[in-house]
């Protein structure tokens, strides 16, 4: 084989090396990628190279002027993609996916959150582009352009292919079945690289689009059998105990469970909630199960008892699907259903998705008086939001199901001095410091809201359900969180921090703290059973939290899971009693179950399978199979 004349490739070589080294530096400085041995470090180092060789190698088919333009433009675009991942990672501790990029309608509302994540030093992420631009402008003698022969081109691309296969082979040796672990984006980036990951993500997106077109109702059979085999009978004493009552469901933005019964600067963080749980059913081992869709994912979980997707947000990617959500079911049982959120109705595509869920009414931004005085951060302050919402509740037909989405306790946790009930925490981390005053403010807003419900005669006729929607403090702030908690934030501790408050207040019922391991996916069947509505024919993965047979098993969207005795995360099994790693065999019985649940739920969403589930009166697989055959 003829050797490549590398002197002919100098500009391409410079562009490749600069971007290659920059990518590796970003891996080490901007992402928290866990490296366990020298092989993983080597894979991390080489994984950008094959993509960069391919993408810059295309310039060999261009003339000099177009070649330089192409390399400059490509370098800038790739740098922008890398930087976008850095900014996204700073808050979400995750990598971008194609569906998230399609959610651009949300960008105008991000405002201060994005500004908080940017700094002047971020211009360094484009330093290599500036160097290349100077080279093109100055045209130094060491950079020359010559026509590349076909042989040289073939040799160049053969080298790129060889590196790509070498990289993938090493990665598969280190992590078998790598490309099937699509929910673990860190694992994919660590092994195949950021750029190849995005190409693979685009492939997955096209695959998911094809899944709906190819799906048919027969795929529901195995899923239905699995769900019915795991169905738990409701508690006779609790079934229907709140029949006919109004339902007030409140999503507490970014509220994690560690603030409950805890203090900062010697003051209670949530004094109202600490008292309210004494008169409520409080589930202290309740986990959020959201992914990239955050608040919208929590809404999806609570209303459907299906898992969100690992990529993007169902609210955007599958708003045209058929769902059997709580609002639709309650509509059929005489309820008026509404959601109240003082934000643009199109944010997270809620105006479309709420129709799919069956909501009768969406009280959005135009239904509230919002001005500079009563707004902070993302919009209307929680105290004003709940106060103005009382009038909407009074005007609703009874009984009603009203879901509230709070807003003040949202990153970057902004709050004026006049609204602080406690002072910020004192660490070197601004995000963690400011988190506590905004949580305290929301707690005060809830206190005032409950008092108003009592004044208006709504309190005794309503059950009040409160839940945290997702984490507020990401893993990027583990050092400051460890300082507050007084312990190192290990993967075990980090997973335990995914617990969020969940409590149900039922008029006339005494309070009780329940330690059952549970999650947002359990809210729908629990709530419907309290209202006396049977769920045994529903396609849902949660189970009634009051059921005496409730299995203590909760799956997080990244594949982690928690049981009564064990916690499994990042391919490690932990003993819940002491937080120490133990033999993986202890968690083995649950690993397959966790995988099945996530895959079954994904099939329902990607294939829009609930459109085939029209007859809820069937019993058993054979009847259902006959029904499908008859339709075909």
Selection from 332, 336, 323 nearest residue 392 by Cα: 336
Helix (H) or strand (E) segment spanning residue 468? strand 462-468
Specify burial of residue 170 (Cβ count, 10 A radius: 0-12, 13-18, 19+): middle
In the annotation, is 295 catalytic? yes
Helix (H) or strand (E) segment spanning residue 314? helix 314-317
Q: Note whether 364 and 343 are within 8 A (CB).
A: yes
Q: Is 559 left (phi over 0), alpha (psi -120 to 50) or beta?
A: left
Please tell me the distance from the alpha carbon of residue 71 to that of residue 491, in angstroms, as a whole number.
Answer: 41
Give the DSSP per-residue string, 571-595: TEEEETTT--EE-GGGTHHHHHHHH
Q: Note whether 562 and 554 are within 8 A (CB).
A: yes
Evaluated on CA atoms 14, 15, 17, 19, the torsion sign reads: positive
List Cβ neighbours of 440 (8 Å cut-off, separation of 6 or more). 269, 270, 420, 421, 422
In the block, tokens 């076909």 appear at 150
Please tell me the distance from the alpha carbon of residue 43 to that of residue 47, in angstroms, as a whole number.
Answer: 6
Candidates 182, 194, 270, 295; catalytic one: 295
Q: Which residues are catalytic?
A: 295
């Amino acid at each position: 084989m003829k050797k490549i004349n590398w002197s002919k490739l100098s500009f391409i070589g410079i562009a490749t090396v600069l971007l290659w080294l920059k990518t590796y530096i970003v891996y080490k400085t901007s992402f928290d990628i866990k490296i366990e041995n020298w092989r993983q470090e080597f894979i991390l180092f080489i994984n950008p190279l094959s993509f960069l060789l391919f993408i810059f190698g295309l310039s060999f088919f261009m003339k000099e002027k177009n070649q330089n333009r192409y390399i400059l433009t490509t370098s800038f675009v790739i740098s922008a993609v890398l930087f976008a991942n850095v900014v996204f990672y700073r808050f979400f501790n995750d990598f971008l996916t194609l569906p998230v990029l399609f959610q651009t309608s949300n960008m105008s509302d991000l405002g201060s959150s994005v500004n908080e994540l940017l700094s002047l030093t971020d211009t360094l992420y484009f330093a290599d582009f500036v160097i290349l631009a100077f080279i093109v402008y100055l045209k130094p003698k060491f950079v020359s352009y010559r026509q590349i022969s076909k042989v040289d081109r073939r040799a160049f691309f053969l080298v790129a292919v060889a590196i790509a296969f070498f990289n993938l082979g090493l990665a598969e040796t280190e992590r078998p079945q790598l490309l099937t672990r699509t929910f673990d984006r860190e694992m994919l980036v660590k092994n195949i690289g950021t750029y190849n990951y995005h190409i693979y993500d685009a492939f997955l997106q096209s695959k998911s689009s094809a899944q709906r077109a190819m799906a048919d109702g027969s795929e529901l059979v195995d899923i239905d059998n699995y769900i019915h085999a795991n169905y738990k009978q409701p508690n006779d004493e609790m079934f229907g105990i709140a029949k006919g009552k109004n339902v007030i469901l409140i999503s507490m933005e970014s509220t994690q469970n560690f603030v409950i019964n805890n203090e900062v600067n010697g003051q209670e963080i949530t004094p109202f909630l600490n008292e309210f749980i004494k008169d409520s059913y409080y589930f202290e081992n309740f986990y959020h199960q959201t992914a990239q869709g955050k608040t919208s994912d929590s809404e999806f979980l609570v209303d459907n008892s299906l898992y969100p997707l690992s990529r993007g947000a169902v609210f955007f990617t599958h708003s045209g699907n058929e769902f059997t959500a709580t609002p639709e079911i309650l509509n059929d049982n005489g309820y008026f259903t509404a959601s109240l959120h003082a934000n643009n109705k199109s944010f997270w595509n809620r105006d479309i998705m709420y129709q799919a869920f069956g909501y009768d009414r969406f009280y959005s931004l135009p239904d509230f008086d919002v001005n500079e005085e009563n707004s902070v951060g993302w919009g209307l302050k929680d105290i004003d939001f709940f106060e103005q919402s009382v009038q909407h509740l009074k005007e609703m037909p009874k009984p009603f199901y009203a879901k509230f989405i709070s807003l003040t306790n949202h990153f970057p946790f902004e709050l004026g001095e006049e609204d602080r009930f406690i002072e910020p925490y004192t660490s070197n981390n601004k995000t963690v410091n400011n988190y506590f005053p905004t949580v305290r403010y929301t707690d005060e807003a809830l206190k005032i809201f409950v008092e108003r419900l009592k004044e208006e005669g709504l309190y005794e006729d309503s059950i009040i359900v409160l839940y945290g929607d997702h984490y507020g403090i990401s893993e990027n702030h583990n050092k400051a969180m460890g300082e507050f908690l007084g312990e190192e934030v290990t993967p075990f501790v980090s997973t335990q921090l995914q617990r969020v408050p969940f409590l149900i207040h039922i008029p006339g019922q005494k309070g009780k703290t329940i330690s059952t391991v549970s999650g947002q996916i359990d809210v729908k069947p629990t709530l419907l059973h309290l209202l006396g509505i049977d769920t045994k024919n529903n396609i849902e993965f949660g189970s009634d939290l009051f059921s005496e047979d409730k299995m203590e098993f909760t799956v997080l969207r990244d594949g982690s899971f928690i049981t009564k005795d064990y916690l499994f995360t990042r391919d490690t099994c932990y003993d819940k009693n002491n937080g120490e790693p133990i033999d993986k065999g202890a968690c083995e019985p649950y690993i397959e179950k966790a995988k099945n649940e996530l895959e079954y739920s994904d099939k329902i969403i990607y294939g829009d399978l609930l459109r085939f589930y029209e007859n809820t009166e069937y019993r058993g697989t054979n009847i259902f199979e006959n029904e499908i055959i008859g339709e075909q």
